[in-house]
Amino acid sequence: MVSGSDMHGTPITVTAQQEGKTPEEVAMHYHAINSKSIEDMGISFDLFSHTHTKEHFEAALWILETLDKAGYIEPRISEEPYDPVAKQFLPDRYVEGTCPHCNYESARGDQCDDCGKTLDSKELIDPHPKLNPDAKLEFKETEHLFFKLSAFRDSLLDWLSTDKEHWRPAVINFTRNWLQEGLIDRAVTRDLEWGIDIPRKGYEKKRMYVWFEAVMGYYSASLHWAKNQGQPELWKEWWENDEAEHYYFMAKDNIPFHTIIWPAMLSGCGLHLPHDVPANEYLLLDSTQFSKSRRHAVWIPDYLDRYDPEVLRYYLSSIMPEQKDANFTWEDYVTRINNELIGNYGNLIHRVISFAQKNYPDGLSSKESTIPSVHAKILEVHNRVSEALEACKFKRALQAIMELSQTGNIELNEAAPWKQVKGNRDACEATLVTFLNLCRSLSVMMTPFLPKSSQKVWEYLNQEGKIEDNGWDSALEYKTKFNLQQPLPLFSKLDMQEILEKEMPSEETNELANVKPEITFDDFKKLDIRIGTVEKVDVHPNADKLWLLDVNFGGPTRRIVTGLRGIYESDDLLGKKIAVLVNLAPAKFRGEESNGMLLAAEGEGIVSLLQPDKEINDGSEVN
Ligand SMILES: [Zn+2]
């Protein structure tokens, strides 16, 4: 199992510039955080690498060269944004201008952060280089290498209709629709100095496009892993062996890269195509999407400061969004952990091992199980779990294990060793050996979900070595002797009220969201805000969302352009006293000059004008 961090995204170079660091410093900083979180969560990769390694650069160039030799790479001329001051071509994120959809003035060349629409630099009004805002953006012809993705459409459609019964329906449908709409050839180089060099004349200032090389990380990490093993050819067992099956794990927003783009590249190079791409739907937090900028998230390093990673692994596995979006709530987290993980599983393990250890401190033995139904259930569940895991149905696998544990609790109550021990110690010993074997089987099957606590159970049962080294089928072995260690409870019960108070503090105690950087009183004094009366409302000739207002400030009248059309009717505005920032530099909106900006409150879709609450003269200052 290999993966890694993508190091060459444009956001990295933007952050680096803003923080005065090199892109490599920024990328390595995040790679270190991610690697540590993964390790602390008990996720063990054979190699978790990144895309800024010698191995990745070599592998990426080999793939580019191989595709080129096969005729799938072609230089083409296209028009790209160009900064005449810096004398360089710009990636879309380095272009700013006014959004043609909502008039937001700082829209980027790839997207408007205000209305969320995807954009092209050419669509922006007054586009300019982000770093040289006074310069006028130019569009100049430049050469780039293109990947002929369109050439793979038919073969991918064939591949998609062959032996894909095990694929998730959402993944296959999404991929088929995308292919049926047709594939567009895409540029695989760009004008940016951060990334993988292209050894080609005229490409000295160009780098490999990140969408093209990031997916190659799976391949380069395999090569890197083999090298680390001291057997540099070992990767071939996974990439050139027809018996090997490749699984790719991700969320649904990444489907096309793994079911279309990467498979096209792989088949162009004669490498193995994915066996399964079991993409998950989204995990929501309190029914809305996680968001870094709104700080609507559960941060892994924060989480790990307070709680047990195993508990989170259990909760996330039990609600995994395999078929539809799932919802993380702290309430549900506490309920499931207390009722299922502790009430069912943890309790059974602790009850059995602690009772047996206390009453038989010198060990227990019994030739065969005196409760055959328990062993039969282990066999049946082991089968179901194996099948579910191979089919990437992880939730179903976990449910089956929990069902086995539930059966164990019922059987244990019926056998009642705490009664047996008083009258017939031998019968009690035989009963306990049966249930100790059940605990042993459960710990093996739980290992993929709860690696650390399963190892603990293994040690309480005094079994040898690391649990995973004993193999999956060791769950089916029957041990006739146990010499136990004194166990501790596997998990601590969670306090609902305490956790809700900590994780979901009420609104009043919450910090004000999205506060801008602090300013001084002198900064504030620079703002000249006055009260004025709206005397006239006109329709903007070229924009259907804009009003032209004439506002009287007790003598002089000013023309102000505002985006309130559709929110306030002209009659609602006429005669109103409003607050206006009057010393804002004039700006043109679709050809009409605005000499000031009116103040309004905005929140949750409502826009409301700021107005004085007493009669006051036009021209009065706001302080
Ligand atoms: Zn917009």
Q: Residue 540's domain is classified under what CATH number? A: 2.40.50.140
Q: How far apart are CA 592 and CA 560, in angstroms?
A: 9
| Highest mean pLDDT (candidates 105-119, 321-335, 537-551) | 321-335
Cα of 189 vs its chain's centroid, Å = 26
Residue 258 sits at the vertex; the CA angle it makes with 254 and 262, to the nearest 5 degrees, is: 130
How many A from CA of 591 to the centre of ligand 1?
Answer: 18
Q: Of 251, 236, 255, 247, which Cα lies nearest the Cα of 273?
A: 247
Quick check: is 345 in a domain? yes
How many A from CA of 174 to the centre of ligand 1?
Answer: 28
How many A from CA of 95 to the centre of ligand 1?
Answer: 14
Q: How far apart are CA 39 and CA 240, in angstroms?
A: 30
How many A from CA of 545 to the centre of ligand 1?
Answer: 13
User: What pLDDT is stored for residue 510 in this prediction?
Assistant: 52
How many A from CA of 620 to the centre of ligand 1?
Answer: 34
Tell me the angle at which helices 451-460 and 425-446 cross, rounded to the nearest 10 degrees. Answer: 160
Pairing type for strands 88-89 and 557-562 reads: unpaired
Quick check: is 55 in a domain? no
Q: How far apart are CA 364 and CA 482, in angstroms?
A: 5
How many A from CA of 595 to the centre of ligand 1?
Answer: 22
Q: Is 157 exposed, middle or buried (0-12, 13-18, 19+ CB in 10 A)?
A: middle
- C-alpha distances out from residue 96 to 11, 85, 86, 289, 490, Å: 15, 15, 15, 27, 55
Q: How far apart are CA 194 and CA 189, in angstroms?
A: 12
Q: Of 346, 408, 350, which Cα lies nearest the Cα of 374?
A: 408
Note the pTM of the prediction, 2 decimals: 0.76
Residue in the structure block whose two tokens are 């922006």: 124
Identify whether the C-beta of residue 442 lies closer than 8 Å to the C-beta of residue 404.
yes
How many A from CA of 349 to the centre of ligand 1?
Answer: 57
Domain residue limits at 547: 521-622
How many A from CA of 108 to the centre of ligand 1?
Answer: 9
How many A from CA of 119 to the centre of ligand 1?
Answer: 9
Mean pLDDT of the chain: 92
Identify whether the C-beta of residue 144 lies closer than 8 Å to the C-beta of residue 75.
yes
Phi and psi angles of residue 191, each rounded to the nearest 5 degrees, phi first: -90, 90
How many A from CA of 94 to the centre of ligand 1?
Answer: 17
How many A from CA of 523 to the centre of ligand 1?
Answer: 29
* Average pLDDT of span 282-290: 89
Quick check: is 371 in a domain? yes
DSSP 3-state of 209: coil
Residue 561 sits at the vertex; the CA angle it makes with 555 and 565, to the nearest 5 degrees, is: 120
How many A from CA of 101 to the centre of ligand 1?
Answer: 5
Quick check: is 355 in a domain? yes
Instruction: Take residue 446 and report the two structure tokens written for it.
Output: 């739980």
How many A from CA of 112 to the centre of ligand 1?
Answer: 5
Q: How far apart are CA 92 and CA 209, in angstroms?
A: 13
Q: Same domain for 445 and 573?
A: no
How many A from CA of 585 to the centre of ligand 1?
Answer: 22
Q: Of 479, 483, 412, 404, which Cα lies nearest the Cα of 445?
A: 404
How many A from CA of 136 to the centre of ligand 1?
Answer: 20
Q: Same domain for 475 and 594?
A: no
How many A from CA of 276 to the centre of ligand 1?
Answer: 38
Of residues 132 and 494, more confidently modeled = 494
Instruction: Take residue 603 and report the two structure tokens written for it.
Output: 């929140």
User: What pLDDT is stored for residue 509 in this prediction?
Assistant: 44
Q: Same domain for 419 and 544?
A: no
DSSP state string for 132-198: STTSPPEEEEEEEEEE-GGGGHHHHHHHHTSS-TTS-HHHHHHHHHHHHT----EE-EES-SSS-B-
How many A from CA of 132 to the centre of ligand 1?
Answer: 21
Contacts 24+ apart (CB under 8 A), 362-365: 362/483, 363/481, 363/482, 363/483, 363/484, 364/429, 364/432, 364/433, 364/436, 364/481, 364/482, 364/484, 365/429, 365/433, 365/480, 365/481, 365/482
How many A from CA of 588 to the centre of ligand 1?
Answer: 17
How many A from CA of 563 to the centre of ligand 1?
Answer: 13
Q: Same domain for 472 and 365?
A: yes
- C-alpha distances out from residue 4 to 35, 46, 56, 333, 399, Å: 8, 11, 11, 29, 30
Q: Same domain for 414 and 334?
A: yes
How many A from CA of 85 to the centre of ligand 1?
Answer: 26
Q: Same domain for 428 and 546?
A: no
How many A from CA of 543 to the centre of ligand 1?
Answer: 14
Q: Is 282 exposed, middle or buried (0-12, 13-18, 19+ CB in 10 A)?
A: middle
* Average pLDDT of span 511-515: 68
How many A from CA of 138 to the centre of ligand 1?
Answer: 21
**How do residues 582-593 score in pLDDT, each as one tens digit?**
999 888 888 888
How many A from CA of 105 to the centre of ligand 1?
Answer: 8
Q: Same domain for 398 and 472?
A: yes
DSSP state string for 319-337: T--SSS-EEE-HHHHHHHI
Q: How far apart are CA 314 and CA 41, in angstroms?
A: 11
How many A from CA of 40 to the centre of ligand 1?
Answer: 40
How many A from CA of 546 to the centre of ligand 1?
Answer: 15
Identify whether the C-beta of residue 482 lies closer than 8 Å to the C-beta of residue 364.
yes
How many A from CA of 593 to the centre of ligand 1?
Answer: 20
Q: What percent of the chain has pLDDT over 70?
A: 98
Quick check: is 571 in a domain? yes
How many A from CA of 102 to the centre of ligand 1?
Answer: 4
Quick check: is 451 in a domain? yes
Residue in the structure block whose two tokens are 């059940």: 438
User: Number of folded domains in the chain?
Assistant: 2
How many A from CA of 251 to the centre of ligand 1?
Answer: 27
How many A from CA of 106 to the centre of ligand 1?
Answer: 9
User: What pLDDT is stored for residue 401 in this prediction?
Assistant: 98
How many A from CA of 589 to the centre of ligand 1?
Answer: 14
User: What pLDDT is stored for residue 203 in this prediction?
Assistant: 94
Flag the least confident range among 229-243, 246-260, 598-612: 598-612
Q: Same domain for 398 and 458?
A: yes
DSSP 3-state of 482: strand
How many A from CA of 23 to the centre of ligand 1?
Answer: 29
How many A from CA of 179 to the centre of ligand 1?
Answer: 29
Domain boundary, last residue among 452, 482, 512: 482
How many A from CA of 96 to the centre of ligand 1?
Answer: 12
Flag the least confident range among 340-349, 515-524, 559-568: 515-524
Q: Same domain for 384 and 467?
A: yes
Cα of 150 vs its chain's centroid, Å = 29
Q: Same domain for 340 and 465?
A: yes
Quick check: is 72 in a domain? no
User: What pLDDT is stored for residue 132 in this prediction?
Assistant: 85
How many A from CA of 13 to the centre of ligand 1?
Answer: 24
How many A from CA of 540 to the centre of ligand 1?
Answer: 19
Domain boundary, last residue among 435, 463, 482: 482
Give CA torsion, residues 545, 550, 553, 555, to 10 deg: 170
How many A from CA of 97 to the centre of ligand 1?
Answer: 10
SS (H, E, C) 530-572: EEEEEEEEEECCCCCCCEEEEEECCCCEEEEEECCECCECHHH
Buried/exposed 530-552: b ≥16 CB within 10 Å, e otherwise:
bbbbbeebeebeebebbbbbebb
Over its C-alpha atoms, the chain yields an Rg (Å, rounded) of 32
Flag the least confident range among 96-105, 176-185, 505-514: 505-514
Query: Residue 502's pLDDT band (boundaries 50, 70, 90)?
Result: confident
How many A from CA of 539 to the centre of ligand 1?
Answer: 21
Q: Same domain for 459 and 528?
A: no
Quick check: is 78 in a domain? no
Q: For the domain that residue 342 is a member of, what is the CATH number?
A: 1.10.730.10
Q: How far apart are CA 16 and CA 10, in angstroms?
A: 10
* Average pLDDT of span 91-98: 88
Q: Is 64 exposed, middle or buried (0-12, 13-18, 19+ CB in 10 A)?
A: buried
How many A from CA of 107 to the centre of ligand 1?
Answer: 7
| Chain length of the chain | 623
How many A from CA of 55 to the centre of ligand 1?
Answer: 41
User: What pLDDT is stored for residue 513 in this prediction?
Assistant: 67
Of residues 171 and 90, more confidently modeled = 171
Q: Same domain for 426 and 552?
A: no
SS (H, E, C) 351-411: HHHHHHHHHCCCCEECCCCCCHHHHHHHHHHHHHHHHHHHCCCHHHHHHHHHHHHHHHHHH
User: What pLDDT is stored for residue 532 in this prediction?
Assistant: 94
How many A from CA of 513 to the centre of ligand 1?
Answer: 22
* Average pLDDT of span 236-258: 93
HSE (side-chain half, CA atoms, 13 Å) at 500 = 10
How many A from CA of 131 to the centre of ligand 1?
Answer: 20
Domain boundary, last residue among 482, 504, 534: 482
How many A from CA of 103 to the centre of ligand 1?
Answer: 6
How many A from CA of 289 to the centre of ligand 1?
Answer: 21
Q: What percent of the chain has pLDDT over 90?
A: 73
Q: Of 33, 38, 291, 270, which Cα lies nearest the Cα of 155?
A: 270
